[in-house]
Structure 1
Amino acid sequence: MDPKHSQILQRHRHDIVTTLNPADICDGFLSKGVFTQDMIDEIQSKITRRDQARQLVISLETRGSQAFLAFLECLRETGQHDLAELLQCGDGARPLIPLPIQNPKHTEKTDRFDFTPPRLVPLKPKGLPVPKPLNPYESLDVTSETKGVRPTRPSIQCYKMDASPCGICLIINNVDFDPSFDLKDRKGSNIDCDKMEKRFKALNFEVIVKRNLKYNHIIQEMAFLAQRDHSVYDCCVVIILSHGTEASQNNFPGAVYGVDGASVPVQLITNYLNGQNCPSLQGKPKLFFIQACGGGEKDTGFEVSSDEVEPSLSGTDDQMDAIPISSSSDSLSTYDETDARATLPTPSDILVSYSTFPGYVSWRHTQAGSWYVENLDRVLEKNAATDDLVTMLTMVNDAVSQISAKGLYKQTSAFFHVLRKLLYFQSSQS
């Protein structure tokens, strides 16, 4: 597919997924030779309409230079003129209406179809749609109509994410710590754990929860996970809820604590699932979500205009997932660990999402759970059906940055990744 057309599909993926009914146009794609029957069967095997629409877009991007024009024609034939016009004008250029495509030719070697190029008739451009106001928990869909024409870039493929279950999700929830190591019990962590367990089950993952693991047990669980056969899965997720500490590494920064007070570098945890140590996950996304401090710095933020800041949570029950920098430090001088930047030489398809930026503390409310997990759960619930993971984590960053602890301290989550494709979770929403 022409990169320009692929870019239009990606830009308007939200509109397609939320409005298109694939059942209406599958017959048209089949009769025009755009899709094979096997491809139609794969689309129709998806449980929800949204997932069917998403699979249709993914398949469409593999079907040659004329597939986009055939898509527009199928939309018009089934009366979906608004969506057709939106995509027709999606590149910001003068709209063109293709004439009917005739005589599709099957190419045996590539399993694609070449079409006789249609004659394109220029029309006068129509008015551009007015964009809706955005909020942190709704899908972001900034189009070229509102921001000017973007430069053409190569299309980005999507990871295969249709296995059932999609993959294994390991949650390590460390709550009760050895008091001799100046590590307080993490009140509110069970709330985070319950949210993540329910959320990833809803995203069709097999969830395994482990509680109060010592250093050796964390290593053991990661080794067991790496030794499993993931060939039937499309993804693997590890969620760690614990205290943390600062640790400079070549790849991913930071470390998390076992309940015995020994810290495990995040880089070591991710290495268990890289392509060398876990062959059955080669080429598949490995996702790590870390709720722990990233250092001892407390961010007091900077002043902005009132319209930049939304109402935020604050209270006396906010705690940090960290340890004191020294024995004389007060309760607000504790820290996690983190440093480094993502400069991975051999691992690929890895994403690590941190509750806070390297070097800074991470806040957790003893009654409501951590800021990060609360907003991660909310964004996944509202946006997993339409948005890719990196887009959603950007929403989480924005949402967390709006909150204040004790009316003073701020926090922003962060993520580093070497993903090669877009990642869209499965969703039960229709």
Structure 2
Amino acid sequence: MDTKHRLILQRNRRNLVTALIPADICDGLLSKGVFTQDMIDEIQSKVTRRDQARQLVTDLETRGSQAFPAFLECLRETGHHDLAELLQSGDGAYLPHPFPIQPSQIPLPVQNPKCTEKHIPDHTPLVVVLPSRPESLPLPKPLSPPSETLRVRPTRPRRDSIQSYKMDASPCGMCLIINNVDFEPASELKDRTGSNIDCDKMEKRFKALNFEVIVKRNLKCNQIKHEMSTLSKRDHSAYDCCVVIILSHGTEASHNRFPGAVHGVDGPAVPVQFITNYLNGQKCPSLQSKPKLFFIQACGGGEKDTGFEVSPDEAEPSLGGIDDQTDAIPISSSSDSLSTSDEIDARATLPTPSDILVSYSTFPGYVSWRDTQAGSWYVDNLDLVLEENVASDDLVTMLMMVNDAVSQISAKGLYKQMPGSFNFLRKLLYFQSSQS
């Protein structure tokens, strides 16, 4: 699909997911050759209409150059005129209508623009006839001579679709929240006032997303390891996903996959990559090929980011709270760092860190800000983005929204923060939504 058409679909994803009736569209897309029967079956296997619409739009973005005009044609044929006009208004050019045609009809006389029901594969040259242009739309590029047909350059065959993870189990999966608030005096770490607000938000949010939530508070270093070990030994066969949320102080640590470490309330830190390893495909077989999500609200180091100047039209200043604190201590070497050695496995396998996403509240090496009255910038915006967009957008898209929102905030009118993710997911991930 052309980049401009893909962007139009992405910008209007929410409207499409809300209003589209996939059952009306699928037959048309199949008859026009845009979708295969396997793709239609995958769409129809989704439980709710919204999930079906979401899958349809996701698959549509991966199809050939004629998929977008075919989709507009199907929308008009099935009475989705408002959606068709909405999408076409964002195209900036009048789209060929109707289309497509069979190779046997090439060349097609200008006087007979009717089409057959078969769709030509992406690698086959097409002949498309342009009808008269409505006066309200911009002029298309002139044809020379006007009576000739327009040949579209052949495109390379594309893969069927990037698929979405299965996320319809009930409950969808386990969600472990580790909330470290009160640190022991010997740790020389301050108490994390405001973290309970973060914890409450995440507990409510993931319960709303149909997860079974377990909250553990004020864990020492060894207790964090114990809880992760317990989680890895559970049978996740009936679940589709697993989530771990850690709210604590953090620091830098040596690593070969995932940076950073989180502190127990007694002081010592557990590397993030050590935590993720408990749930990888080797250590937790019942989560193989299923998404494992980690959300880390902790500092990645001790540096404070003062940001850089931007032009006025880019700046959307937002001040942090009056009592912003960081979750950092200086960099330290950890005795818990993992071995970098790897053993060869000749069997057909997926890479060990596959299906893992780690979302960090801040860039490695930098502090993460927390308002003692309102909670951390990262969790507050993560909760808000999930609430507003979970019905229409995939996780990676929503995390980019979180990144943008947090980047606009300033602590004490000076310091900035930039969240980010280490993404090893293989498919799109859509959470369950209570909206139908």
Asked if Structure 1 and Structure 2 have the same fold, meaning a TM-score greater than 0.5 normalized by the shorter chain, the answer is yes
CA distance in 2, matches of 1:87, 1:347: 39
Q: Is 1:323 matched up with 2:345? A: no
In structure 2, which of residues 120, 129, 150 is the aligned counterpart of residue 121 of structure 1?
Answer: 129
Q: Is 1:174 matched up with 2:174? A: no
Matching residue of 1:224: 230
Larger relative CO (CA 8 A, sep 6+): 1 or 2? 1
CA distance in 2, matches of 1:14, 1:224: 39
CA distance in 2, matches of 1:197, 1:21: 33
SS at structure 1 position matched to 2:409: coil
Matching residue of 1:356: 362
CA distance in 2, matches of 1:29, 1:355: 41
Instruction: Using the aligned pairs only, state the percent identity.
Output: 75
| Cα offset, 1:52, TM superposition | 3.6
Q: Is 1:20 matched up with 2:20? A: yes
**Bigger CA drift: 205-214 or 365-374?**
205-214
| Cα offset, 1:128, TM superposition | 7.6
Matching residue of 2:316: 310
SS at structure 1 position matched to 2:119: coil
Matching residue of 2:200: 194
The AA in structure 1 aligned to 2:393 is: D
Q: Name which one, 1 or 2, has greater alpha-carbon Rg.
A: 2
Matches within 5 A, 1:3-402: 7=6, 11=10, 12-22=12-22, 24-25=24-25, 42-43=45-46, 45-46=47-48, 49-57=49-57, 72-84=72-84, 95-98=95-98, 116-117=118-119, 120-123=128-131, 155-323=161-329, 346-402=352-408
Matching residue of 1:133: none
The AA in structure 2 aligned to 1:184 is: K
The AA in structure 2 aligned to 1:259 is: V
CA distance in 1, matches of 2:67, 2:403: 37
CA distance in 1, matches of 2:370, 2:6: 39
| Cα offset, 1:244, TM superposition | 0.7
Give the conservation status (yes or no) of the 8 Å contact 2:8–2:91.
no
Matching residue of 2:429: 423
**Bigger CA drift: 417-426 or 178-187?**
417-426
| Cα offset, 1:407, TM superposition | 2.1
SS at structure 1 position matched to 2:427: coil
| Cα offset, 1:22, TM superposition | 3.5
| Cα offset, 1:285, TM superposition | 1.4
SS at structure 2 position matched to 1:269: helix
SS at structure 2 position matched to 1:306: coil
SS at structure 1 position matched to 2:266: coil
RMSD: 3.9
- Structure 1 residues 29 and 39, CA, compared in 2 at 3 Å: closer, same or farther? farther
**Structure 2, unaligned stretches of length 5 or more?**
103-116, 121-126, 139-155, 338-349
Q: Deviations over 1:177-202 (max 9, x none)?
A: 11111111111001000111111112
- Structure 1 residues 86 and 157, CA, compared in 2 at 3 Å: closer, same or farther? farther
Give the conservation status (yes or no) of the 8 Å contact 1:89–1:95.
no
Matching residue of 2:152: none
The AA in structure 2 aligned to 1:121 is: V
The AA in structure 2 aligned to 1:301 is: G
Q: Deviations over 1:250-270 (max 9, x none)?
A: 000000011111110000001
- Structure 1 residues 308 and 242, CA, compared in 2 at 3 Å: closer, same or farther? same
- Structure 1 residues 413 and 59, CA, compared in 2 at 3 Å: closer, same or farther? closer
- Structure 1 residues 128 and 362, CA, compared in 2 at 3 Å: closer, same or farther? farther
CA distance in 2, matches of 1:351, 1:405: 27
Give the conservation status (yes or no) of the 8 Å contact 2:70–2:99.
no
| Cα offset, 1:292, TM superposition | 0.4
| Cα offset, 1:85, TM superposition | 5.4
| Cα offset, 1:358, TM superposition | 0.6
Name the count of aligned residue pairs: 378
SS at structure 1 position matched to 2:237: coil
- Structure 1 residues 117 and 31, CA, compared in 2 at 3 Å: closer, same or farther? closer
Matching residue of 2:417: 411
SS at structure 2 position matched to 1:346: coil
- Structure 1 residues 35 and 57, CA, compared in 2 at 3 Å: closer, same or farther? farther
- Structure 1 residues 229 and 79, CA, compared in 2 at 3 Å: closer, same or farther? same
Q: Deviations over 1:189-218 (max 9, x none)?
A: 010001111111122222111111111111
**Structure 1, unaligned stretches of length 5 or more?**
103-114, 130-150, 327-337, 339-343
Q: Deviations over 1:252-304 (max 9, x none)?
A: 00000111111100000011111111122222211110000111111112222
The AA in structure 1 aligned to 2:200 is: D
| Cα offset, 1:78, TM superposition | 2.3
CA distance in 1, matches of 2:236, 2:4: 34
| Cα offset, 1:164, TM superposition | 2.1
Give the conservation status (yes or no) of the 8 Å contact 1:8–1:87.
no
CA distance in 1, matches of 2:328, 2:427: 34
CA distance in 2, matches of 1:370, 1:84: 42
Give the conservation status (yes or no) of the 8 Å contact 1:95–1:124.
no
The AA in structure 1 aligned to 2:228 is: M
TM-score using structure 1 length: 0.75
- Structure 1 residues 93 and 164, CA, compared in 2 at 3 Å: closer, same or farther? farther
SS at structure 1 position matched to 2:313: helix
The AA in structure 1 aligned to 2:389 is: N
| Cα offset, 1:40, TM superposition | 7.4
| Cα offset, 1:242, TM superposition | 0.4
| Cα offset, 1:3, TM superposition | 8.9
- Structure 1 residues 197 and 123, CA, compared in 2 at 3 Å: closer, same or farther? farther
